[in-house]
Homo-oligomer: A and B are copies of this chain.
């Protein structure tokens, strides 16, 4: 599906047919954004012809390519492979969508398989500042990238909450902590794997002179770079916290095993004392004075209670119970 957005003098037009693009693009101070959802080979070919895209750039934008985030330059055009994220339901793996961007002098194409970013939000921001249109597609690229990068923060917030829940679970020994930590780490590895190269791609946009970006556009991209660095650093922090949580969980479990062992030992000792006394008075010796006592039975029971109680108090004080 192809959706064309044309920005002119702070106005957005979305009703331009693809066929008119060639003509619209020649108008001054006009920016064209073409958004392709699950583009068919025909649509890709049409775009390739219209915007004179390099075959390898176009191949990278085909649905299902699953590539590493990166920047590539093709005579006057720039290909950017990026990823956006979406919050997910509990227990589901992190959700990462590839979004490929090709930018030329006054146009920007996005290729993706769903709607990782909101087209309306992009349009609102672009139309809100018509004076920035003079920076050409660089400004459009900034807005799109900013929306893409911002999709990571809700996901990171979710992960932050998962870690907080995990920490409580670790110290309260609740639930299935280990497998949760494991799937958390999986998610963090998945995010790091796209976020790291995306940060590097943004720095390539910033550092290399790609011709497309004015100095002012680069200043805005600096902001995106800072956001990406924060994403990467947050992932690293969460990774540290997750392995800290696993280590702590190991210690907590060991601790608990120790506590249980001490506990059991104490109760075993108490029962053993009672059993010992009953064993003694269960012996069949002909001459056992206590057996003939009037209150022998009471004596035995009393002895049991006193010894068991004494041990109980002793262990309580020693902290074993």
Who on chain B is nearest to A67 by CB? Answer: B226
Q: Which of A288-317 contact B (CB under 8 A)?
A: 288-297, 300-301, 304
Tell me, in angstroms, the Cα distance from A72 to B280 when the chains sit together: 85
Q: Are A178 and B255 in contact (CB under 8 A)?
A: yes
Does A157 belong to the interface (CB within 8 Å)?
no
Tell me, in angstroms, the Cα distance from A304 to B275 when the chains sit together: 14
Closest CB of chain B to A28's CB: distance in Å?
A: 26
Candidates B254, B269, B287, B294; contact of A257 at CB < 8 Å: B254
The interface size of chain A toward B, counting residues with CB under 8 Å, comes to 83
Binds B, one of A11-19, A31-39, A98-106, A240-248: A240-248
Binds B, one of A115-123, A180-188, A204-212: A180-188
Who on chain B is nearest to A240 by CB? Answer: B189
Does A283 belong to the interface (CB within 8 Å)?
yes
Tell me, in angstroms, the Cα distance from A29 to B282 when the chains sit together: 104
Q: Are A193 and B271 in contact (CB under 8 A)?
A: no
Does A162 belong to the interface (CB within 8 Å)?
no
What is the total number of copies of this protein in its complex?
A: 5
A249-264 vs B, CB cutoff 8 Å, 1 = contact: the mask equals 1111111111011111
Which residues of the other chain, B, contact A72 by a CB distance below 8 angstroms? 222
Tell me, in angstroms, the Cα distance from A261 to B280 when the chains sit together: 27
Evaluate whether A283 and B284 lie within 8 angstroms (CB atoms) in the complex, with A56-B223, A186-B241, A250-B251 already known.
yes
Candidates B67, B178, B287, B296; contact of A251 at CB < 8 Å: B178
Who on chain B is nearest to A57 by CB? Answer: B219
Further pairs besides A253-B254, A281-B284: 16, Cβ < 8 Å: A68-B226, A171-B176, A178-B248, A178-B251, A182-B245, A193-B233, A193-B237, A246-B247, A246-B251, A267-B269, A269-B271, A280-B301, A284-B288, A284-B291, A288-B297, A289-B297
Chain A residues with a Cβ under 8 A of chain B: 56, 67-68, 70, 72, 167, 170-171, 176-179, 181-182, 185-186, 189, 193, 219-220, 222-223, 226, 229-230, 233, 237, 240-241, 243-258, 260-265, 267-269, 271-276, 278-297, 300-301, 304
14 contacts between A and B (CB under 8 A): A68-B226, A68-B230, A72-B222, A177-B251, A246-B247, A247-B250, A250-B250, A253-B255, A257-B258, A260-B262, A267-B269, A275-B276, A285-B290, A286-B296
